[in-house]
Amino acid sequence: MSHFLYIHKDMSGTPDIWKPGIAMLPYSAVRARQKFTWNQFELNYLFFGRPRQIVFLEKKIKSHFSYCSGKALQGFGGQTELFQVQEKELLSFVRGTIQKYDLAVKEVLLEKPYTASNSGQCPFGCPTEAYAESWCDKKSVELFGKDNYRSAKDMFDQLFGVDN
């Protein structure tokens, strides 16, 4: 499950084109894109939170800015970059959505863009991917407390007395 939402500039350097996405760890996102560019790839903004709320936030971003996605403008199904979106407008929407829905998501303040492509370079001490899920879950509990979310199956079982 993905605990991080990232936002980065267009890899070609075209201004006001942004790519939001989610990843288990930020260095995984960097590594996945670094192979497509000679220049050092970087994530410009990072947000950490509970996985289902990170997914919710990503969907809200893509829905709100759908009118300026590559899919809407060019008809390419896989093109999720946001064209001609001002940085301030994008960040205002993300931060406002977190506040509006009281999401268990926090912005990771970066002194400079994130460029680590493995755990050894990660400034946050993220472990290798083999230990990522438990590390992220632990950090999530430290930041936001225990998650009391119940799935529909949990609710059904509780309402109708079904024992597991």
- pLDDT tens figures, 18-55: 999 999 999 999 988 888 877 888 999 999 999 999 99
In this predicted model, which residue has the larger pLDDT, 79 or 144? 144
> In the predicted model, what is the mean pLDDT of residues 133-144?
92
Angle at 97 between CA 19 and CA 122, to 5 degrees: 50
- For residue range 83-126, what is the model confidence (pLDDT) as tens digits? 888 999 999 999 999 999 999 999 999 999 999 988 989 998 89
Any domain includes 140: yes
Average pLDDT score over the chain: 87
- Banded pLDDT at 79 (limits 50, 70, 90): low
Q: What angle do CA 40, 83, 56 make, to 5 degrees?
A: 85
Residue 69 is part of which domain span?
A: 4-159
Percent with pLDDT over 90 in the chain:
55
> pLDDT tens across 53-76, in order?
999 999 999 999 988 887 777 776
Is residue 39 assigned to a domain?
yes
Position 48 in a domain: yes
pLDDT value, residue 139: 93
Q: Is residue 118 in a domain?
A: yes
In a domain, 53, yes or no: yes
In a domain, 164, yes or no: no
How many structural domains comprise the chain?
1
126 within a domain of the structure (yes/no): yes
Query: Would you say residue 97 lies in a domain?
Result: yes
> What pLDDT sits at residue 90?
96
Note whether 84 and 30 are within 8 A (CB): no
